[in-house]
Structure 1
Amino acid sequence: MTAAAAQGIPDPDPGLYGPRSVTWQMHGDPMMWIAGVRALYLQALHPLAVRGVIQNSDFRQDAWGRLLRTARFVATITYGTTEAAERAGARVRGIHRRLSVTDPGTGARHAVDEPALLLWVHCAEVASYLHVVRRSGYPLTDGQADAYVAENRESARLVGLDPAAVPGDTAELRAYFATVRPELAATPEAREVDAFLRRPPVHAALVPARDLIWGRFAALAYASLPRYAHALYGRPAPAPATVTRRLRATGRVLRCVPSTVRWQLPPKHILRAVERLGPGTRPSPRTLLRDAAVPDRAGW
């Protein structure tokens, strides 16, 4: 029993994951931004999933908004209260229930919330987050990597999936990708996403910064994709060992920015979570074991 409970004071709500989870620690790492871009590249290779995005959203006009809404959703379900996370999940499920996508090849219509489509999006996100952050030097043991995949069955549940049907460890995640790989293709819609990620529209005054900073981040996210993704997109990438060195170097630089500065970015989910639960709950790799093996291969 905690001190608060002993005094009859309700404990603060730790949310769906809580400070003891791998997800809580890992999602506070700045390499998650590059991991998120990698997830978009990977997700776009599923023909029906990417058509669902293009046909049901203003992606062309509001791609930045879509990226930020996705980041906000991940932050909310990781660091928000249980109520906030459940509310965010219900909102996403409600949107998906109203949408459908037409397969231009067959003319068949599919619900956006078909389990196969939701599962692809979920697995591409989880695999990308884990792959980039771990490969960039974040300390995770193999057991902690498995725990991360298992923990994120919660995020799968929030978007409408049956957690029992979602990969629960890294081996199951690899098996899933091996199964779905023959369905992937670089469709015109995927190339549209690729074009946006390489050169997103910005104000003219921001073009130099986009080319200098965003261009490098997007290139690194693309380079960290599995080799079959490079082959589908038709653009080569550096050797895996070179990509790993660049990911590690980028991770070292970004992690030098004080977390209190990084976490000031709106909407400040992490700062609010620490304020709610106490300073001992600050996400930090130091709370995890430091014997993680960082793979050089790009297997997902």
Structure 2
Amino acid sequence: MSDGARAAGPDPDPGLFGPGSVTWQVHADPVMWIAGVRALYLQALHPRAVRGVIQNSDFRRDAWGRLLRTASFVGTLTYGTTGAAEQAGARVRRIHGFLGATDPATGERYGVGEPALLLWVHCAEIDSYLSVLRRSGVPVSDAQADRYIDENRQSARLVGLDPADVPADRAALAAYFASVRPELAATAESREVDDFLRRPPVPAVLAPAREVIWRHVAALAYAALPPYAHELYGRPAPGPETVNRRLTATGNALRCIPDRLRWQLPPGHILGAMARLGPGSRPAPYKLRTPDAILDGPGRAQRGDGGDSTRWRTPG
């Protein structure tokens, strides 16, 4: 089917981001799984946020389901249609509206959908995704990193935040973390998450895989945390350069797995997007290598030298 014929199909909707965005190109990278675990470690250091998780879910019994549901949510927002993304966001907002947590020290009851808590979860995720992607060798320039943070204010909107209150670039994100740092602590709930991530329960038949594969993933995700997180958890980590080398080596190994094999795994968001928009929408980090590219909306990249906007083009 030609691109023209496909564009005339029933639903050529590029979704919230589209193939011209940084988000579209990088969220298909397999190191996102490591980044997601880093985000869990970081999020657990906010006492009010982690308390909401512990008190409202049996994450030990359904940890893998929770992880897959989170991955599916990110995949829907990135590669799904606009309608699918909006529906997913509405579902999350509806669930948050019913849930609350209690501070055992004061008896205070609060909602898990408080803007301050949603902002923490969002920023911990975006910081983790961007940090691990860049440190593992994905070619995201500083300008593209800023654009990625700005793009994902759309994700923040869907969970109930006002995009105007969400960091829009690296400087604003760093300022946010500096402001929230005094609120962070390693609580009993944080250590429960830490213990679980280091050795999650699995069926006996999967125990060898946990020891060989998962322990490496969890250790690398923990090592990729900022130094203040290591201090709070009280466990040392290798130096940044060692972590960078390990992230790069792991990323390169994971990228040797054929995309089609990885993307066949449920729920298949990327293959669905390519079927909807055509083969030219295939996400790939090399598309970020346009010189000084600053993304300028779905399907477009604007050159930083003031040149005209152009479509992403694959080599050859």
| TM value normalised by structure 1 | 0.94
Deviation at 1:250, TM superposition (A): 0.5
Q: How many residues align?
A: 290
8 Å Cα contact 2:103-2:109 kept in structure 1: yes
8 Å Cα contact 1:19-1:25 kept in structure 2: yes
What is the distance in 1 between the residues matched to 2:202 and 2:284? Answer: 33
Q: Per-residue CA shift, 1:167-215, capped at 9, x if unaligned?
A: 0001100100000011001111111111111001001111111010000
Q: Per-residue CA shift, 1:5-25, capped at 9, x if unaligned?
A: 9x9766600001111100000
8 Å Cα contact 1:139-1:291 kept in structure 2: no
8 Å Cα contact 2:15-2:80 kept in structure 1: yes
Question: After the TM superposition, which residues 126-205 of structure 1 pair with which residues of structure 2 at under 5 Å, given as runs?
Answer: 126-205=126-205
1:45 corresponds to 2:45: yes
Q: Per-residue CA shift, 1:33-64, capped at 9, x if unaligned?
A: 00000000000000000000011112122111
Deviation at 1:107, TM superposition (A): 1.2
1:59 aligned counterpart, secondary structure: coil
Instruction: Summarize the Cα distance change of 1:141–1:202 in structure 2 as closer, same or farther, 3 Å threshold.
Output: same
What is the distance in 2 between the residues matched to 1:11 and 1:47? Answer: 43
Question: Identity of counterpart residues, as a percentage?
Answer: 72
8 Å Cα contact 2:60-2:201 kept in structure 1: no
8 Å Cα contact 2:43-2:49 kept in structure 1: yes
Q: Which residue of 1 aligns with 2:116?
A: 116
1:30 aligned counterpart, secondary structure: coil
Q: Which residue of 1 aligns with 2:243?
A: 243
8 Å Cα contact 1:4-1:10 kept in structure 2: no
Please give the root-mean-square deviation of Cα atoms over the aligned residues, in Å: 1.6
Return structure 1 stretches of 4+ with deviation > 3 angstroms.
2-5, 7-11
Letter in 2 for 1:257: I
What is the distance in 2 between the residues matched to 1:105 and 1:122? Answer: 26
Deviation at 1:291, TM superposition (A): 7.5
Q: Which residue of 2 aligns with 1:99?
A: 99
| TM value normalised by structure 2 | 0.89
What is the distance in 1 between the residues matched to 2:197 and 2:52? Answer: 18
Q: Per-residue CA shift, 1:79-128, capped at 9, x if unaligned?
A: 00111000000000000001111112221111111100000000000000
1:283 aligned counterpart, secondary structure: coil
Q: Which residue of 2 aligns with 1:297?
A: none
Of 282-291 and 220-229, deviating more is 282-291
What is the distance in 2 between the residues matched to 1:11 and 1:263? Answer: 21
Q: Which residue of 2 aligns with 1:21?
A: 21
1:113 aligned counterpart, secondary structure: coil
Deviation at 1:4, TM superposition (A): 5.7
What is the distance in 1 between the residues matched to 2:207 and 2:271? Answer: 31
1:202 aligned counterpart, secondary structure: coil
Q: Which residue of 1 aligns with 2:265?
A: 265
Deviation at 1:289, TM superposition (A): 1.8
Instruction: Summarize the Cα distance change of 1:236–1:8 in structure 2 as closer, same or farther, 3 Å threshold.
Output: closer
What is the distance in 2 between the residues matched to 1:112 and 1:167? Answer: 20
2:139 aligned counterpart, secondary structure: coil
1:110 aligned counterpart, secondary structure: strand
Instruction: Summarize the Cα distance change of 1:110–1:10 in structure 2 as closer, same or farther, 3 Å threshold.
Output: same
Deviation at 1:229, TM superposition (A): 0.4
8 Å Cα contact 2:11-2:276 kept in structure 1: no
What is the distance in 1 between the residues matched to 2:158 and 2:46? Answer: 21
2:161 aligned counterpart, secondary structure: coil
8 Å Cα contact 1:223-1:238 kept in structure 2: yes
What is the distance in 1 between the residues matched to 2:271 and 2:179? Answer: 40
Q: Which residue of 1 aligns with 2:79?
A: 79
Q: Per-residue CA shift, 1:141-183, capped at 9, x if unaligned?
A: 1000000000000000000000000000011001000000110
Q: Which residue of 2 aligns with 1:283?
A: 283
Q: Which residue of 2 aligns with 1:219?
A: 219
What is the distance in 2 between the residues matched to 1:30 and 1:290? Answer: 22
What is the distance in 2 between the residues matched to 1:136 and 1:153? Answer: 24
Instruction: Summarize the Cα distance change of 1:247–1:86 in structure 2 as closer, same or farther, 3 Å threshold.
Output: same
Deviation at 1:255, TM superposition (A): 0.8
Letter in 1 for 2:35: A
2:62 aligned counterpart, secondary structure: helix
Structure 2 stretches lacking a partner, 5+ long: 293-316
What is the distance in 2 between the residues matched to 1:83 and 1:252? Answer: 34
